[in-house]
Amino acid sequence: MSRFDLVAFDADDTLWHSEDSFHAGEQRFVELLTPYAPAGVDVKAALTAVERANLRTYGYGVKAFGLSAVEAAISISGGTVPNEVIGAILAGVRAQLSEPVRLLPHVAEVLAALSGTVPLALITKGDLIHQTHKIETSGIAHHFAHVEVVLEKDPPTYARLLSEVGVAPDRFLMIGNSVRSDVLPVLALGGTAVHIPYPLLWELEHVDHDEHVVELASITQVPGWLSATT
């Protein structure tokens, strides 16, 4: 018998690569804008500040990044940024939205092994169209009893999801790469969470905390950890 009635996975940077594309997009933005930025302006920091200010309005995802990048390009350049640069930013957004899903190593085999032992869920935040497209084309959607694309991963959202599927928080395990989004809100509800770091973390996902967080190096360690925890 599992200690858990539902084991949920985050998707971006937990099941498949994501942040490396955003990181590349940020670097491309810095290269494109630097010729039009006044000396001494930190182009990357300015972009992140615009993204932070827009978070509540645009939410998460590639399209939100694109709108913030265009806004930042206009403000950083004092309105002098050429149309070609705006066009290059938009082309980068379109390319990122069309990228094929790149699963992280061993994800498919671990999900296949776990799905026979405990119900699995996928909980991801961001753009509904893009996330749905990635889930549908990932080839791993059939392992999940529940798939949820949410606006924000906070305690009220997790509480609502758990109540909808009839799972008590203390019978719920969440696994993901973000302590801010996948771990702390679940611990706050009395659930269990496991952190599997990805080499890159978006600046707006950084969080200061003093919780004890269970950390595994790879998804391949999840089945063994579950057996030892049960």
Strand arrangement, sheet containing 146-150: 146-150, 120-125, 6-9, 172-176, 192-195, 214-215
The residue (of 12 and 26) whose beta carbon lies closer to Mg ion is 12
Q: Is 127 in the site for Mg ion (CB under 5 A)?
A: no
Site stretch for Mg ion (CB under 5 A), options 12-20, 73-81, 144-152, 222-230: 12-20
What three-state secondary structure class fits 194?
Answer: strand
Q: Is 51 in the site for Mg ion (CB under 5 A)?
A: no
- Put residue 12 in one of left, alpha, beta given phi > 0 → left and psi -120 to 50 → alpha: beta
Among 4, 7, 8, 12, binds Mg ion (CB under 5 A): 12
The residue (of 36 and 60) whose beta carbon lies closer to Mg ion is 60
Site stretch for Mg ion (CB under 5 A), options 41-49, 67-75, 86-94, 174-182: 174-182
Q: Is 131 in the site for Mg ion (CB under 5 A)?
A: no
The residue (of 29 and 198) whose beta carbon lies closer to Mg ion is 198
- C-alpha span between 157 and 200 (Å, rounded): 25
The residue (of 155 and 197) whose beta carbon lies closer to Mg ion is 197
Q: Is 13 in the site for Mg ion (CB under 5 A)?
A: yes
Site stretch for Mg ion (CB under 5 A), options 8-16, 43-51, 98-106, 185-193: 8-16
Site stretch for Mg ion (CB under 5 A), options 27-35, 113-121, 177-185, 214-222: 177-185
- C-alpha span between 201 and 178 (Å, rounded): 8
Judge contact between 161 and 168, C-beta under 8 A: no
- Residues 6+ away with beta carbon under 8 Å from 31: none
Q: How far is the CB of 144 from Mg ion (least distance, A)?
A: 16
Helix spans in the chain (H): 19-33, 43-58, 62-76, 83-98, 107-115, 128-137, 155-165, 184-188, 222-229
Backbone angles phi, psi at 101, to 5 degrees: -65, 130
Q: Is 10 in the site for Mg ion (CB under 5 A)?
A: yes
Among 77, 131, 177, 192, binds Mg ion (CB under 5 A): 177
Binding site for Mg ion (CB under 5 A): 10, 12-13, 177-178
